[in-house]
Amino acid sequence: MVGALLLREWKILLRARASVVNPLAFLLLSTLLFAIAAPQLVAEASQQASGILWVLVLFTQLLSLDAMFRRDYDSGTLEQSLIMADVPFVAVLIRIFVQWLGTGLVIVIATPVIGPLLGLSWSAVPGTMLALLLGTPALSLLGSIGAGITVGFSRGGIILALLVLPLFLPVLIFGTDIVNAAGAGLNYTAQAYWLALISLAALIVSPFAALAGLRISVEMQ
Partner 1 sequence: MKLNQKLKEYWHKLGSPRWFYEITTNWVTFFGIGALLLLVTGLVWGLAFAPADYQQGNSFRIMYVHVPAAMVAQSLYIGMGVAGFIGLVWRMKLTDVAIGACLPLGMVLTALALFTGGVWGKPTWGSWWEWDGRTVSTLVLLFLYIGIYALREAIPDLDLRARASALVCLVGTVNIPIIKYSVEWWNTLHQSASFSLTEKPAMPVEMWLPLLIMGLGFYCFAGHQVLSRMRLEVLTREANSRWVAEVMLSKGAPAAVMQPSTTDTTDHGKD
Q: Which residues of the chain form contacts with partner 1 (CB under 8 A)?
A: 145, 149-150, 153, 156, 158-159, 162-163, 165-167, 169-170, 173-174, 177, 198, 201, 205, 209, 212-213, 216, 219-221
- CB of 92 within 8 A of CB of 134? no
Terminal CA-CA length for the chain = 26
Minimum separation from the CB atom of position 198 to partner 1 (A): 7
Distance between CA atoms of 211 and 200, rounded to whole angstroms? 18
Look at the chain and count its residues: 221
Minimum separation from the CB atom of position 22 to partner 1 (A): 25
Distance between CA atoms of 143 and 161, rounded to whole angstroms? 9
Q: Which is nearer to partner 1, 67 or 161 (CB)?
A: 161
Q: Which is nearer to partner 1, 24 or 202 (CB)?
A: 202
Amino acid at 30: S
Q: Which is nearer to partner 1, 130 or 151 (CB)?
A: 151
Minimum separation from the CB atom of position 175 to partner 1 (A): 11
Residues 6+ apart with CB under 8 A from 82: 88, 91, 211, 214, 215, 218
Q: Which is nearer to partner 1, 102 or 213 (CB)?
A: 213
Q: Which is nearer to partner 1, 31 or 140 (CB)?
A: 140
CB atoms within 10 A of CB 20: 17
Minimum separation from the CB atom of position 168 to partner 1 (A): 10
Minimum separation from the CB atom of position 172 to partner 1 (A): 9
Distance between CA atoms of 3 and 101, rounded to whole angstroms? 16
Distance between CA atoms of 91 and 82, rounded to whole angstroms? 7
Distance between CA atoms of 80 and 58, rounded to whole angstroms? 31
Sequence-separated contacts (24+) of 3-6 with Cβ below 8 Å: 5/81, 5/85, 5/90, 5/91, 5/94, 6/94, 6/97, 6/98
Minimum separation from the CB atom of position 209 to partner 1 (A): 5
Q: Which is nearer to partner 1, 88 or 116 (CB)?
A: 88
Q: Which is nearer to partner 1, 23 or 156 (CB)?
A: 156
Distance between CA atoms of 137 and 141, rounded to whole angstroms? 6
Minimum separation from the CB atom of position 179 to partner 1 (A): 14
